[in-house]
Structure 1
């Protein structure tokens, strides 16, 4: 059986922005969109965390243009893939897990329907 048949890495998240999205220039000359989504846990433990903060990134220019209009507390939904990224720091190698987004849209509060525009 081919790996293409058994492997799958699809992520769909809906949550609120903890801060406005950032555009960060990379050494390669590309621009990275970076934002954090606060996603509530479905069944949190009584004394445990009730939500998770998930780092999301994108190199998709259309999503970058659209997301720059998002503001703190906006509810957004994204689709992408989970990835692990490594980079060098002055003290060694750092690692992070993040969702690499290929699509995203603002969701109207309370209705969970898409806003008129999406990327």
Structure 2
């Protein structure tokens, strides 16, 4: 690892159904939102309990995996952060998303017994 690596690892829940898209260039991608709980320290500083991250799958393998996800599924993603700029009538806007390198469905945690 060097001092300019752009790698993220996130674990959370799928917010909504993944959406396939074809760009004007002909490139295909599948996008979805990931909900990640904030750490205990972050929760003490803010009322916000979670963050949501846009994730994009570009390879055929990752697009296929993403399309099988259901809202609420627990997953782990690894990838790189990307920033997109777009021009709109009100000016230039930008957003950051996770460009997926891997996507893994996680098992549900065991339910605690009440006996």
What is the TM-score normalised by the length of structure 2? 0.85
Written as runs of structure 1 = structure 2, the 5 A alignment for 1:56-67 is 56-67=55-66
Written as runs of structure 1 = structure 2, the 5 A alignment for 1:14-53 is 14-43=11-40, 44-45=43-44, 48-53=47-52
Q: What is the CA deviation profile of residues 60-95 of structure 1, one whole-angstrom value per residue up to 9, with x for unaligned ones?
A: 110001111110100111100111111233433220
- Greater relative CO, 1 or 2 (CA 8 Å, sep 6+): 2
The SS at the match of 1:48 is coil
Q: RMSD over aligned Cα, in angstroms?
A: 1.7
Partners of 2:9 and 2:64 in 1: CA distance? 20
What is the TM-score normalised by the length of structure 1? 0.83
The SS at the match of 1:45 is helix
**How far did 1:37 drift?**
0.5
Partners of 1:68 and 1:106 in 2: CA distance? 12
User: Number of aligned pairs?
Assistant: 108
The residue that corresponds to 2:87 in the other structure is 88
Equivalent pair of 2:57/2:66 in contact (CA under 8 Å): no
- Divergent runs of 4+, >6 A: none
Partners of 1:90 and 1:24 in 2: CA distance? 23
The SS at the match of 2:63 is helix
The SS at the match of 2:62 is helix
